[in-house]
């Protein structure tokens, strides 16, 4: 799986790499299990939303919001 690589890239010194990490999370979160999302993706996105670069913050916030919406929808579908 590519998750470990993406997580490492979240700390890259280049802002474009970090915001692409957030964009990647948006694309791969549907195929990740709940444990990976909770233990790895969520904390990483939370950290990226506090990044010094505004573009990184934007894309991380967008990815975080989309992840949260997906979680809510999946819970709604199960009831």
The model scores a pTM over 0.85: no
Q: Which range, 10-14, 66-70, 71-75, has the best average confidence (pLDDT)?
A: 10-14
Q: How far is CA 42 from CA 7, 74, 79, in A?
A: 11, 16, 24
| CA neighbours closer than 13 Å in the CB half-sphere of residue 9 | 17
Does pLDDT of 72 surpass 80?
A: no
Note the pLDDT tens digit of each residue in 52-63: 999 999 999 999
Sort residue 46 into left (φ over 0), alpha (ψ -120 to 50) or beta: alpha
Mean pLDDT of all residues in 14-37: 93
Q: What is the CATH number of the domain that holds 27?
A: 1.25.10
Enclosing domain of residue 45: 3-78
Question: How many domains, in total, are found in the chain?
Answer: 1
pLDDT confidence band for 9 (50 / 70 / 90): very high
- pLDDT of 30: 86
For the chain, the farthest-separated pair of C-alpha atoms sits apart, in whole angstroms, at 43
Q: In this structure, are residues 70 and 29 in contact, taking their beta carbons and an 8 Å threshold?
A: yes
Task: Specify the DSSP element, H or E, that contains 32.
Answer: none
């Amino acid at each position: 799986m590519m998750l470990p690589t993406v997580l490492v890239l979240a700390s890259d010194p280049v802002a474009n790499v970090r915001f692409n990490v957030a964009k990647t999370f948006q694309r791969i979160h549907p195929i990740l299990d709940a444990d990976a999302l909770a233990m790895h993706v969520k904390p990483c996105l939370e950290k990226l939303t506090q990044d010094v670069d505004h573009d990184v913050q934007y894309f991380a916030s967008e990815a975080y919001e989309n992840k949260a919406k997906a979680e809510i929808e999946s819970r709604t579908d199960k009831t």
